[in-house]
Amino acid sequence: MSPITFVHDIIDRALEFVKLVQNREIGWQTVDRKTGQYKREQQPILKKLKLLFLFSPVMTWLDRTHLLRLWIHDKTIEAGEREASKRSASQIQPFVEFYGIDMRQFHPSSIYDYRSFDDFFIREHAPGSRPIYKPDDDSAAVVVADSRVVVYPTLSETRKLWIKGRNFTMEELLLDRARAKLWNDGAIASFRLSPQDYHRYHSPVSGTVTGFKAISGEYYQVDPLCLSSDVDILTRNARCCIEIETKEFGRVLFVAIGATDVGTVKISDKFRTEGAVVKKGDEIGFFQFGGSSIIVAFEKDRIKFDEDLLSISRQRIMVDVEVGMSLGNAISR
């Protein structure tokens, strides 16, 4: 490579980096499933710097009491409470413009019909904007949220490549040793929702509710940076666990994990009731303000995830997906 070419390449990379920072494209690398384009998640720069500091190996070792992370947590709760005020409605328009949110996909479509930012945050989809993949075929599971997803055929592979918390096991996630055995080393789909996403979530399968459990806890951030640290984010945060019995997939576990705002996980009464019949695509509940996460676990050898999701996940890259997209098919027995 000639000196001129080398300098030109450095300048190009520097300009590209500046552009990414200007657009706040500093989050985890993702692939848009619809277009196949690689990009980075948009995030506030100050937030990213805080996370880099608080969940660094050195700080994790020093802050044995977790006081610094809890201080950030408390400050974020206060911010979440402000988002519920009527004055916060003024934040909606610049938010929509910055993140390029297409309001035609939501109901109501006018930003002026929302009373507060929190009201806008839990907006609903417009009818028909998220078609369900093979709605009459219960052997095909679907994506549960507008989000970024990683999938792995075994829990051990998930821990090896993605979730690094010291105590991330199904038993710790459920706080129930007997039930956790159903999903020991089963397949895992992990969905991460960013603040700009639609924050309602839906059932991946059709079946019958056979269990519900609400678990209190903290509200740490669920950024991939945090999940890759030694802090047990997913087993320390508040969460709601729903067990769905299906003919095609066996028992399926749906865990909505809160982050940022106290009381953020809201589950519809239907999904709290054993014996309730659910259809894939049914709305399960919603998250209030803050990035949040969902884990869906399948029994071992009961689902074959779509190949594109598997291959990209193994590169430690997340896939941008929408509610109702194909997730995988049941393995016949």
The residues assigned a catalytic role are 146, 202, 292
Q: How far apart are CA 300 and CA 249, in angstroms?
A: 10
Q: How far apart are CA 272 and CA 240, in angstroms?
A: 10
Task: Give Cα separations from 333 to 96, 112, 182, 183 (angstroms).
Answer: 47, 52, 17, 17
> In the beta sheet, which residues pair with residue 25?
42
Q: How far apart are CA 85 and CA 168, in angstroms?
A: 36
Residue 151 has which token pair?
Answer: 């999938």
How many residues comprise the chain? 333
Are residues 220 and 259 in contact, defined by beta-carbon separation less than 8 angstroms? yes
Are residues 165 and 232 in contact, defined by beta-carbon separation less than 8 angstroms? yes
